[in-house]
């Protein structure tokens, strides 16, 4: 691993996020972020067992201030951040006519605003270091739409736009 910067993986407590965190641990120290703090810590523990460096944090990616504070903790723990994987995501499916505003808001807050918050927390440091990688996990639903997933489709389409704009 040497002096590589850390990788942050959001939504890292289980599923795709946990698998990504474990794969990245072969090359990077990993900060595992998830709203489920015990789950994030469990993934970090599994990385330790496999010989990697990791720490789990309970982070609400939809909360700008919480993300900024967590990023500062990662900088203190691991130094620079070299990679960010925005994987955190939720669904609250329902036909548009029946979709509650709070279901719309939650999905956009986690899936799109969360990615913005996380990018904002690390991009300046990456730019100063002249290196860094950001991977935003999106979905084909962001391109095609899907019945009952207006909120999810909008969030993933927005994430595609954010990705292209940052590139």
Q: For residues 80-116, b (16+ Cβ closer than 10 Å) or e, as one string? A: bbbbbbbbbbbbbeeeeeebeeebbebbbbbbbbbbb
Catalytic residue among 152, 153, 159, 162: 152
| Tokens found for residue 135 | 């991977």
3-state secondary structure of 52: coil
Q: For residues 29 and 164, give the distance between their C-alpha atoms in angstroms, rounded to a whole number.
A: 27
Distance separating alpha carbons of residues 70 and 50, to the nearest angstrom: 24
Answer yes or no: 116 catalytic: no
Catalytically active residues, by annotation: 152
């Amino acid at each position: 691993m040497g002096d590589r910067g850390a990788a942050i993986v959001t939504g890292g407590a289980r599923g795709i996020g946990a698998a990504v965190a474990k794969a990245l641990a072969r090359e990077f120290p990993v900060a595992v972020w998830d709203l489920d703090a015990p789950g994030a810590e469990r993934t970090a523990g599994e990385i330790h067992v496999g010989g990697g460096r990791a720490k789990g944090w309970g982070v609400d990616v939809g909360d700008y201030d919480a993300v900024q504070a967590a990023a500062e903790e990662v900088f203190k723990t691991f130094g620079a951040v070299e990679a960010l994987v925005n994987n955190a995501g939720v669904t609250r499916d329902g036909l548009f006519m029946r979709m509650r505003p709070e279901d719309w808001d939650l999905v956009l807050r986690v899936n799109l605003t969360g990615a913005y918050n996380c990018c904002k927390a690390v991009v300046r440091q990456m730019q100063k270091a002249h290196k860094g990688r950001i991977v935003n996990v999106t979905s084909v639903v962001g391109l095609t739409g899907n019945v009952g997933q207006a909120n999810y489709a909008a969030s993933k389409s927005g994430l595609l736009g954010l990705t292209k704009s940052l590139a």
